[in-house]
Structure 1
Amino acid sequence: MKNFHEKREDKDSWREKNLLWGVPSFWIERFPLYYGRSKGFFRKRGISLEIKYYWGGPELAQAVRAGELAIGEMGLPPFTKAFSDGLPARVIGSSIVQQLDHYLAAKPGIKNIKELKGRRVGILSRGSCDEYFLRYMLESHSLDPDRDIEIVPLGSSYGNLDCFSSGIVDAGFIIEPYLSLGESLGVVKVVATVKDYYPRYQWGIIFARDDLLENNPELVGRAMEVYRESCSYIRENSEKAASFGAQVFGIKKEVFLSCLKRNMPSWEMNAMLDCEGVKNCIRMQKETGAVPVDFDFGAIAHQL
């Protein structure tokens, strides 16, 4: 593995470079990017950061194949599937939501997963992590995902609490901080957490295209340094971070702070992959036929 810290940089390498960072949804996992940009951490290292949304892992993978995108985040399940189909990219680290702190919530009258039978359940998109997880969770309770419920891809409406109050869905995965907001308003309550079904699992990952890693490793290295710096600053200054987060997500500071307190203890702040969690993810991907039985994660890992 190349060590970008030891690479000699010429005088042009620190000229400000535009960097498009692709992500699958607008939720708290994006917070280090917004905070790092706001605090000037990216610009200090010569990076002009643009964040672009794609509604799910498959859409992100398509942008990578098309040459539109060179770095970003997605869930490990859709990444491994895309890589096994020829995606020219590598996993370079973990996002803050490494483990499956992902919540399936429902209208207050629904008490558990078994009561989802005959209901409409919202996910991000077809082929996204949500669909993988939902199918496994339903099958664990002897429910058929294709017959017993209606799966509703929400796309740009993902995380919108109006989907619940208007009847578009009866339940669904809700991303933070909107889960905390929905609970505070009495709109939804948690019926299950994905990590209860997958106790050790690498979920969110940061990836980079092969050509970016080969041609400009120091830029990727600087971006990862900023990501870690932003995470550290959030951890050490949670009150200040909550004030900014409330502005970014359009909610009250106390709601965002309660969200941080619930989730931050389990965040991966150093962008390091959980090797055991990776193995579990790959094993489950193989069991479902999403990747070949001889799939080797070592071929796609390039931890920075």
Structure 2
Amino acid sequence: MTQKATRHRGRVLLRPLTLIASVALALSACGAPAAAPPGQSGSAAAGGGGGKVVIGVGGQTLLTYLPTTLAQQLGYYKDEGVDVELQDLQGGSKALTAMIGGSTNVTSGYYEHTIQMQAKNQQIKAFVDMGQSSGLALLVSPKNEGQIKSIADLKGRNVGVTAPGSSTDMFVKFLLAKNNMQQSDAAVSAIGAGSSAVAAVEQGQVDAAVMLEPDVSVLTKRIGHNPVVLEDVRSSEGLKEVFATDSWPSACLYAKTDWLNQNKDTAAKLAKAIKRTLEYINGHSGAEIAAKMPESFAGGDKDLYAKVIDDLKKTLSKDGTFTDDGVQAVLKTQQVANPDVGNKEIKLSETYTNDLVK
């Protein structure tokens, strides 16, 4: 991508920022753990088989995982005959680690984890897709507006990410490679998500940052104008430009392959509950959906929460299935940005299944 094209993209995508306000598509820490922790004994040990199923969520208040919570609020898990406990682990990598360690059965996290873990010889499989966009935006700190106008201008700069190894970090590395730059050309710093991320960008502690909603909206409100956007994959147009696809599976439910094989009926019921929830979202307004969610999730602004849910609907799967071009796009990103994956042979057919949701 030329610098001119990147600058043009930054201008064009400023308007949608306010329209997509607070879509909490959070990849906050969608990175895989360096190694699986030792097994743990916990409430999830029994798994399915009529017992409680513990789902670890990589940030429950983030809208990327809204279907996971909404399914519970609507009573769909119970309708399907599954006793579900949701645990807010406030980060995708933490949720993954908990599942690998045995303290949860299922993770509401990002699909790319299944690829990352197969590269580490650990079999994890996704069985219902919720998101078709990663929902990331690479923004320039207001103190650097005018100085950073393209990806090339990030050379020698410090870019904020939720955590090293996270999907936000992978996004930076992918964009650098896409623009014929070295991964070492820009440094990355962990700024987390939420208030810490907003403060880091607003105060210029980082020169740019990969941010998620609602952080982008909070930042926009605090600085009083739309921040400069270098890349934005929250829209189908952005996905096509960056990843050459209009589908990039993100939030999903996944579990250890062994657990899935032993609990197919339970997993199928979970998949059906999520599919029903996606259908509910598609057929109801943001206000109607917001009214079903825990009041605290709105952050004190129900109108804005309802509005951003309406925007979120555009990025969600309609039927819970994974697409071939989508999983290929995620693999391509990992091959470029993640040295742990690199050129390793990845059997995508072992990282996801549509059988249970169908």
| Fold shared by both chains (TM-score > 0.5) | yes
1:161 corresponds to which of 194, 198, 208: 198
Counterpart Cα distance in 2 of 1:72 and 1:33: 10
1:83 corresponds to which of 89, 100, 118: 118
Which amino acid is 2:213 matched to?
Answer: E
User: How do 1:152-191 residues align onto structure 2 when only pairs under 5 Å count?
Assistant: 152-155=189-192, 160-185=197-222, 186=224, 189=227, 190-191=229-230
Contact between 2:107 and 2:255, CA under 8 Å: does it hold in 1?
Answer: yes
**CA 1:187 to 1:166, structure 2 compared with 1: closer, same or farther past 3 Å?**
farther
Which amino acid is 2:347 matched to?
Answer: D
Contact between 2:114 and 2:123, CA under 8 Å: does it hold in 1?
Answer: no
Give the equivalent residue in structure 2 for 1:94.
129
Give the equivalent residue in structure 2 for 1:202.
248
1:68 corresponds to which of 103, 106, 114: 103
Counterpart Cα distance in 2 of 1:287 and 1:182: 30
**CA 1:154 to 1:19, structure 2 compared with 1: closer, same or farther past 3 Å?**
farther
TM-score (norm 1): 0.80
Which amino acid is 1:53 matched to?
Answer: L
Aligned residues: 288
Which runs of 5 or more residues in structure 1 are unaligned?
1-12
Which amino acid is 1:106 matched to?
Answer: V
Give the equivalent residue in structure 1 for 2:269.
222
Which amino acid is 2:307 matched to?
Answer: S
Secondary structure class of the residue paired with 1:104: strand
The Cα shift of 1:151 comes to 0.5
TM-score (norm 2): 0.69
1:192 corresponds to which of 218, 226, 231: 231
Give the equivalent residue in structure 1 for 2:55.
21
2:347 corresponds to which of 296, 300, 303: 296
The Cα shift of 1:69 comes to 2.7
Give the equivalent residue in structure 1 for 2:9.
none
Which amino acid is 1:217 matched to?
Answer: K
Contact between 2:58 and 2:91, CA under 8 Å: does it hold in 1?
Answer: yes
Give the equivalent residue in structure 2 for 1:134.
172
User: How do 1:260-275 residues align onto structure 2 when only pairs under 5 Å count?
Assistant: 260-275=309-324
Contact between 2:163 and 2:169, CA under 8 Å: does it hold in 1?
Answer: yes
Counterpart Cα distance in 2 of 1:22 and 1:67: 11
Counterpart Cα distance in 2 of 1:64 and 1:262: 31
Q: CA RMSD in A?
A: 2.9
Which amino acid is 1:262 matched to?
Answer: D
* Of 156-165 and 69-78, the range deviating more from structure 2: 156-165
The Cα shift of 1:143 comes to 4.4
Secondary structure class of the residue paired with 1:132: helix
Which amino acid is 1:102 matched to?
Answer: L
The Cα shift of 1:134 comes to 0.8
Give the equivalent residue in structure 2 for 1:253.
302
1:38-79 deviation per Cα after TM superposition (whole angstroms, max 9, x unaligned):
23222333323213325344x444333322232113333332
Which runs of 5 or more residues in structure 2 are unaligned?
1-47, 234-238
1:185-219 deviation per Cα after TM superposition (whole angstroms, max 9, x unaligned):
43752331142311325331421222322222222
Counterpart Cα distance in 1 of 2:161 and 2:217: 18
2:89 corresponds to which of 53, 65, 75: 53
Which amino acid is 1:270 matched to?
Answer: D
Give the equivalent residue in structure 2 for 1:146.
184
Which amino acid is 1:120 matched to?
Answer: N
Contact between 2:76 and 2:273, CA under 8 Å: does it hold in 1?
Answer: yes
Counterpart Cα distance in 2 of 1:276 and 1:156: 29
The Cα shift of 1:86 comes to 2.0
1:1-30 deviation per Cα after TM superposition (whole angstroms, max 9, x unaligned):
xxxxxxxxxxxx996x43222233352111
Which amino acid is 2:212 matched to?
Answer: I
Secondary structure class of the residue paired with 1:161: helix
Secondary structure class of the residue paired with 2:127: strand
Q: Identity of aligned pairs, percent?
A: 17
Contact between 1:285 and 1:291, CA under 8 Å: does it hold in 2?
Answer: yes
Give the equivalent residue in structure 2 for 1:104.
138
**CA 1:184 to 1:255, structure 2 compared with 1: closer, same or farther past 3 Å?**
farther
